[in-house]
Amino acid sequence: MRRAALAAVAVLLVLVAAWLLFSRDEATPANDLGADAPAAQKAEVPERLVALRARAAKTGFDGGVASEGEAGALPPGVVAQFGWGSGEGKLGRSRPDEANPEAPMSITRDAQGNTWVLDQVNNRLVKLDKNGKPAGEVPLPLQTPQDVAFTKDGTAVVLDRLVDESVALVGPDGKQLGELKVVGKGIEEGGSLTGVFTDGDDVYVEREHGDLVKLGDSKGKADPERPEVPGRPTRDGQSYISANITDAASGRVGVTAIDRATKQHRFTREVPFGAPVAMLMLLDSDRSGVIYLGAVVELPNPNGESMPRVGILCLDPLDGRPIGRATLPANTDADETFRELTVLDEGGVYYLHRGEQGAQMLRADCR
């Protein structure tokens, strides 16, 4: 009995320590848009952000990851389910004996609200409608496609950085509209690329999680100048954002925003996940400009053992302060993937969670 009581006390102490760690908030912005900030960096606070900030202050939100069992921490409803395979309602998964195991590489949403899964094992894009129902598929003209995005006119922009070293432009009818080569000015080899992005009808690729290089447009017209921008464009058209892990052990990540119109520094803020960070998984924004930062974090389970989870922080677009959080189960298999999360225009995220029998598309919201 005494041993059981001591064990219970030990578990309680671990949980209390975890709570204390999660409750820390030592965000230290280098520039939080104070009175001395350049006028071009200041912006009127939207009414929606005022409400989000008020709610965060009222609930005492501190930027930590919600632990298992807290309100809102468990995965919300399942948007769609898939078995493993090649037919409708299924996604490809490969487990070769002498090569890397693979699962669907990337997910994204288009401007019409459809969700797309890059199923490179079956060499196709799988389409889901607004209700998560299968709505067709599009074959891919690349050998090793890894990432996908959509331009505002509905063109799929598919990146093969390893073999073809190009971006294929595929129309809504499945026909290839053109191709943009990635190697050239600003990019010495395709393996350095960490994603493909769009800004209106312009096509960009990201170099080593840093600057973006413009390749051309959705019609396949290459830009010979290949200009660079200092980060990923936010969907409200206001900023370029970037992020990097500043202290993995304590779970701190630095986020920087550059004012798009002036190219001036808007803010740099170090935000705490409240648990060790293994890797970053997400940096994007919704249509209102709210920034979504996602990472694999190590949380203690009731036995005090480390447990990987996906932590998502919502950040204020004007100064980077945390305004909400969500937690999702982590994919713990060895499958090679590229983009497991996508932000919705209206807010919230979709996440493709894998299991032995298939995959589920989950929806979460950290606002």
161, 163, 164, 169: CA torsion to nearest 10: -50
First to last CA, the chain: 45
- Residue 79 to residues 38, 132, 350: CA-CA distances in angstroms? 44, 6, 8
Q: What are phi and psi of 252, to 5 degrees?
A: -115, 135
Task: Write the pLDDT tens digit of every residue in 271-307.
Answer: 999 999 999 999 999 999 999 999 999 988 778 778 8
SS3 176: strand
Provide the pLDDT for residue 336: 84
Type of residue numbered 39: A
Higher-scoring residue by pLDDT: 56, 349: 349
Type of residue numbered 237: G
- Measured from the Cβ of residue 141, the count of other Cβ atoms closer than 10 Å reads 18
Query: What percent of the chain lies above the pLDDT cut of 90?
Result: 65
* DSSP 8-state symbol, 234: P
pLDDT band at residue 132 under the 50/70/90 scheme: confident
For residue 40, pLDDT beyond 70: no
Provide the pLDDT for residue 71: 42
Provide the pLDDT for residue 122: 95
Q: What are phi and psi of 12, to 5 degrees?
A: -60, -40
For residue 85, pLDDT beyond 80: yes
Sheet holding 306-315, edge to edge: 277-285, 291-300, 306-315, 322-329
Provide the pLDDT for residue 304: 75
All domains in the chain, ordered by first residue? 26-364 (2.120.10.30)
Q: Check: CB of residue 289 under 8 Å from CB of residue 267.
A: no
Supply the mean pLDDT for the chain.
Answer: 84
Q: Check: CB of residue 132 under 8 Å from CB of residue 115.
A: yes
Nearest to 340 by CA among 132, 148, 66: 148
Q: pTM to 2 decimals? A: 0.84
CA distance 215 to 167: 9
pLDDT band at residue 15 under the 50/70/90 scheme: very low
Provide the pLDDT for residue 11: 40
Higher-scoring residue by pLDDT: 96, 244: 244
Residue with tokens 């952000």: 49
CA distance 106 to 117: 6
- Measured from the Cβ of residue 4, the count of other Cβ atoms closer than 10 Å reads 8
Tokens of 53: 């900030």
Nearest to 321 by CA among 272, 354, 359: 272
For residue 16, pLDDT beyond 60: no
SS3 150: strand
